[in-house]
Structure 1
Amino acid sequence: MRESLFLALFAVAFPWLLLAVLFTRHLLHGVKCWPFLLAIIAIFTVIFYSMELYVSVESLYPKNVRELKTRYSGACTLENVWNIAVEYNSKFIFTYGKPIPKPRQFLIEINGMDPLCNLSRIFTNRLAAVAGTGACEDFALGLTALLRDAFGCETRIVIFENVDHAMPEAMINGTWYVFDISYTTPKEPIKAYDYAKYLYEFNAQLASKISGVKDLYTHEDLSVEHGFTASKQPGSSGIYATYKLCYKTTFKH
């Protein structure tokens, strides 16, 4: 934390010191340097606010985790996870369809840069948990982060092919459960292998549009694991990406 505060203070002081030196130098030589100075100000302003955001998230997130551990005994049980999902959902502000920045936009995915991507992923997960706002993927990012860090649960985020939706899952006693409380499983968690059957009963139109199920990060095909077959169910309309559930960037498969 001290290192973060130092960097934030440095980000504030350094540009002004640099500006003073450059401005004096160019002024003495009679050179117009306003465009360059304005660019420097803009760059360091972005750096400053980024550092401020980082410090805030890294300060608030551990407090949230400690609070959950205290109130729920820190055990990864079906009851605890569902209660957290209910609580998190009740406070989450969904901004689907609104031109508002989403936490997931901090995610960086660059081939060959795993360390950077991992740091970006950790920060984005914590930001989503602290901010408590966004669309379906942001909800899943925040909830799974809290479940991992407060309860030690194994988690993953599942996405649909041809239907723009992401949902959180957690493993309880060796079984994967869907905790999509904000949309497809509002009443109770559903075992992953029962999900296709459940979804056809809950929302047949939605189920018929899904052509595959994958892990958000590993891109592993989880269709069969969720009860879907390789081919679409009989009677499927075959309609593709026109069915939008939440505002998000394009998934990379």
Structure 2
Amino acid sequence: MSNNNNQTSIFRRFFQGLLNPFKANWTESIHFVIIAVGIVVSGYWAYHTFDILSQKEVAEANLAKTNSDLEKAQLELKELRAKIDGTISSDISIDVEQHTLSNNKIGLIISVTVKNNGTQDIDMTWEKTPLKVYKLAYKEDLIANKGVQTPYLYRSLKTENEEDNVSINNLYLFVGAQKSLSFFVEVEANNLYYIAFESKVDASTKNNLDQHGKTGVWLSSKYVFAKANII
């Protein structure tokens, strides 16, 4: 019993000795306690703020990557739709040879080359002929039509009196196909001419264009000056 009382007395004296400095100057002690608590709170706040900023940077990086992936996916989807829907495209070029005729006029041999470089077949159509050759009057940058000729695209020419020349009113091109169309017209020498090849688009293309409020034709053109005394 005596031993327990002695131990209790020792602990009591120890705690009293530990608390005596604080009792002697309790105001300063409280000040240090407040500073210590402030340091702990500030440390926690700094850690918490740093963690939030780190999370923000990670979130912004993830958002940028997501947007980039989304743009890439949209582009791939657009390309896929274009492949599914197909593209309609062609190259149309006009070449002209000039020859002096026996009547001192100029013969124009006009070659129109059409190539289907799209992903769908092309069906060009026209009423009588796709080609018009305009004789022009001109002054500086102004031109005016003085007359027009409409040479036909022939499939066959008559060999007997009861036959007729057979002209073509359409051109069908498979994907990757190329065709050359030949025309001939007699013109006067020393004059400027405007050659225009024009045909209608097929019904499917027309419907697609109509849905977007647009109209479309196949068109290519070229200016030619018919020269006299061609060798």
Band the TM-score falls in, shorter-chain normalisation: under 0.3
TM-score by length of 2: 0.26
Whose radius of gyration is greater, 1 or 2? Answer: 2
Structure having greater relative contact order (Cα 8 Å, sep ≥ 6): 2
Q: Which structure has more strand as a fraction of its residues?
A: 2
